[in-house]
């Protein structure tokens, strides 16, 4: 497949053909003409931009929510990069599982792929979501550790400073953090690490 040479602030932008191939590869593990579950953990909680038939609170293991992706656009600038969430390896994560009805899969998933996969920061992955009653096979987007936007290990001070000060055309990183905290709390999920981080970010902004 020929790769696009269009560049973005975080790397090569994937072509429509590449996005389609990525989606098709992911769906090879899925039974055709059936509903699909999607596990979300960040902005898709408070800004889902997709039609779903049902939502459940669930937990996955082997991945945790972390500010681990640099963004020079959207929530930051090239001079002051922002940070956004990804699923990094290790630990566990509580989030929401959305059920996309079979009739909507062909229209909703391509739109989702264009939003989440366009610059290759994430990798689509099948995970098992535990909702307390069932195990739901679901698609989620984990961080691509080989991507140049991946932060690797950064200090808490760096994380706080970036979120407290970075802003772009989509708004500030601090708003992104607070919207995620509030979105989680609205569905009954308290993420103590994000709560602690939000307090430290607000403290940094008030200095």
CA dist., res. 66 & res. 84, Å (int): 8
**Is residue 157 flagged as an active site residue?**
no
- Other beta carbons within 10 angstroms of residue 103's beta carbon come to 12
- Other beta carbons within 10 angstroms of residue 202's beta carbon come to 14
Pull the structure tokens for residue 135. Answer: 């195990």
CB–CB of 35/102 below 8 Å?
A: yes
- Of the candidates 20, 21, 116, 157, the residue annotated as catalytic is 116
Using the CB atoms, write b or e for 128-157: b if 16+ within 10 Å. bbbeeeeebebbbbbbbeebebbbeeeeee
CA dist., res. 190 & res. 162, Å (int): 23
CA dist., res. 162 & res. 174, Å (int): 9
Catalytic residues: 116
């Amino acid at each position: 497949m020929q790769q696009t040479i269009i560049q973005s602030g975080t790397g090569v932008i994937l072509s429509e053909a590449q996005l389609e191939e990525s989606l098709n590869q992911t769906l090879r593990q899925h039974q055709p003409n059936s509903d699909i579950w999607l596990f979300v953990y960040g902005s898709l909680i408070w800004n889902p931009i997709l039609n779903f038939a049902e939502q459940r609170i669930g937990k996955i293991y082997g991945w945790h929510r972390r500010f681990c992706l640099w963004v020079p656009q959207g929530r930051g600038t090239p001079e002051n990069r922002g940070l956004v969430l990804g699923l990094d390896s290790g630990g566990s994560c509580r989030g929401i599982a959305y059920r996309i009805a079979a009739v909507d899969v062909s229209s909703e998933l391509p739109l989702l792929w264009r939003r989440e996969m366009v610059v290759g920061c994430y990798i689509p992955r099948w995970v098992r979501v535990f909702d307390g009653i069932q195990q739901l096979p679901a698609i989620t987007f984990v961080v691509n550790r080989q991507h140049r936007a991946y932060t690797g290990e950064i200090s808490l001070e760096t994380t706080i400073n970036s979120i407290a000060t970075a802003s772009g055309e989509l708004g500030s990183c601090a708003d992104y953090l607070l919207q995620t905290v509030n979105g989680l709390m609205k569905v009954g999920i308290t993420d103590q690490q994000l709560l602690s981080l939000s307090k430290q970010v607000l403290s940094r902004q008030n200095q």
